[in-house]
Amino acid sequence: MNPPLSFSAEVAQAQAGDVPVVALESTIITHGMPYPQNVETARRVEVAVRDAGAVPATIAVMDHTVKIGLSAAELDTLAQAKDVAKLSRADLAYCLASGKTGATTVAATMICAHLANIRVFATGGIGGVHRGAAESFDISADLHELAQTPVTVVSAGAKAILDIPKTLEILETLGVPVIAYGQDELPAFWSRTSGLKAPMRWDTPQAIAQAIEMHRILGLSGGHLIANPIPASAEIAAQSLEPIIVQANAEAETRGITGKAVTPFLLERIFELTEGRSLEANIALVLHNAHLAAKIAICLQQASRNT
Ligand code: PSU
Ligand code: MN
């Protein structure tokens, strides 16, 4: 039996015609942003991918099927649905077998994208090592997925709510190439700076595509993490955000929030504490990542034609 994938007409047509496809996750819709901004953003991200010359495939689990590309109606239903499961590697088969609706995190989206033959994926920020992980052991499964599944994830760096130095250490241990786009410093999601030098840097989508292709030719497992700095016009200065992040993390601890609930809780509290500014920045950076992901997907297709 083949994996239960169902392709939207747009994605099926793109793949048949050799048009590059960019995967998009759905946890950002169900657990990362409030309604209606979540569905508005999801639509705009799809448009950004098309405008850059590729085809978007938003991925989610519905009715015992992995949807590779959602219809407008499916996207709308998902964005308003309550009790959608947040799916990582561990939950994917369970959700499919049960027939429940599930939104895919970075890890699960990578798995589904790979099954669907999609090599590039755009999101906001990946999960990573949480602050206080020495006690809580809270390290996102996204990091291990990057080590084993050959999909390039275009993000705005690791979220500033995380322990970014430890996140980089784990990525290094796991052998995941982390590439900053167009600058030396690793960006930190809402801001362009993190105070940390990125392990690698490239300045064009062509160069990124060539490196990805070489990784594949060498037979190396896993994906790439591309860290694309948020546009300067949309950034929130790291210093102004830091006290809010500290407060949100402290509240999560006091309230005993653990596991999958941590990241959604922190994002929501930061949204409230910044009076919506964090959401505006989040939307700007996802759109920006969608554009770069489409450009990389186009170059990757050209690069693999030549090898
Ligand atoms: N980036 C965002 N918003 C989000 C997420 C990422 O801008 O909601 C989601 C992604 O789906 C990511 C997940 O994979 O948060 C990480 O969750 P955890 O920390 O529980 O692994
Ligand atoms: Mn976690």
pLDDT tops 80 at residue 307: no
- Nearest atom in ligand 1 to the alpha carbon of residue 155 is 1
- Residue 304's pLDDT band, with cuts at 50, 70 and 90, is confident
- Nearest atom in ligand 1 to the alpha carbon of residue 103 is 11
- Nearest atom in ligand 1 to the alpha carbon of residue 264 is 8
| 197 flagged as catalytic | no
Residue nearest to atom 20 of ligand 1 (CA): 260
Instruction: Single out the residue of 120, 169, 111, 91 nearest to residue 22, CA to CA.
Output: 120
**Which numbered ligand comes closest to the C-alpha of 263?**
1
DSSP lists the bridge partners of residue 2 as none
The active-site residue out of 67, 86, 159, 295 is 159
Ligand 1 mean position to 190 CA, how many Å?
14
Q: Mind listing the pLDDT tens digit for each residue in 136-185?
A: 999 999 999 999 999 999 999 988 899 999 999 999 999 999 999 999 99
User: Can you give the pTM of this predicted structure?
Assistant: 0.97
**Which numbered ligand comes closest to the C-alpha of 141?**
1
**Which numbered ligand comes closest to the C-alpha of 105?**
1
Residue nearest to atom 17 of ligand 1 (CA): 127
Q: Mind listing the pLDDT tens digit for each residue in 28-38?
A: 999 999 999 99
Task: Check: CB of residue 193 under 8 Å from CB of residue 187.
Answer: yes
Instruction: Single out the residue of 227, 199, 203 nearest to residue 289, CA to CA.
Output: 227
Helix H, strand E, coil C: the string for 34-97 is: CCCHHHHHHHHHHHHHHHCCCEEEEEEEECCEEEECCCHHHHHHHHHCCCCEEECHHHHHHHHH
Residue nearest to atom 5 of ligand 1 (CA): 28
Q: What is the pLDDT of residue 306?
A: 80
Task: Check: CB of residue 125 under 8 Å from CB of residue 157.
Answer: yes
Average pLDDT over residues 108-114: 98
pLDDT tops 90 at residue 272: yes
Q: What is the pLDDT of residue 158?
A: 86
Ligand 2 mean position to 139 CA, how many Å?
5
Q: What is the pLDDT of residue 97?
A: 98
Q: Mind listing the pLDDT tens digit for each residue in 43-96?
A: 999 999 999 999 999 999 999 999 999 999 999 999 999 999 999 999 999 999
Residue nearest to atom 10 of ligand 1 (CA): 105
pLDDT tops 80 at residue 251: yes
Q: What is the pLDDT of residue 159?
A: 85
Ligand 1 first shell, C-beta below 6 A: 25, 27-28, 31-32, 105-106, 123-127, 140-142, 260, 263, 267, 282
Ligand 1 mean position to 108 CA, how many Å?
11
Helix, strand, coil fractions of the chain, as percent rounded to 5: 50, 20, 30
Q: Mind listing the pLDDT tens digit for each residue in 170-229?
A: 999 999 999 999 999 999 999 999 999 999 999 999 999 999 999 999 999 999 999 999
Q: What rounded mean pLDDT belongs to the chain?
A: 96
Report the topology of domain 5-305. Indigoidine synthase fold (3.40.1790)
Ligand 2 mean position to 100 CA, how many Å?
21
Ligand 1 mean position to 188 CA, how many Å?
14
Q: What is the pLDDT of residue 160?
A: 85
| 40 flagged as catalytic | no
Instruction: Return the structure tokens found at 214.
Output: 């070489």
- Nearest atom in ligand 1 to the alpha carbon of residue 123 is 1
290 φ/ψ sector (left φ>0, alpha ψ -120 to 50, else beta) = alpha
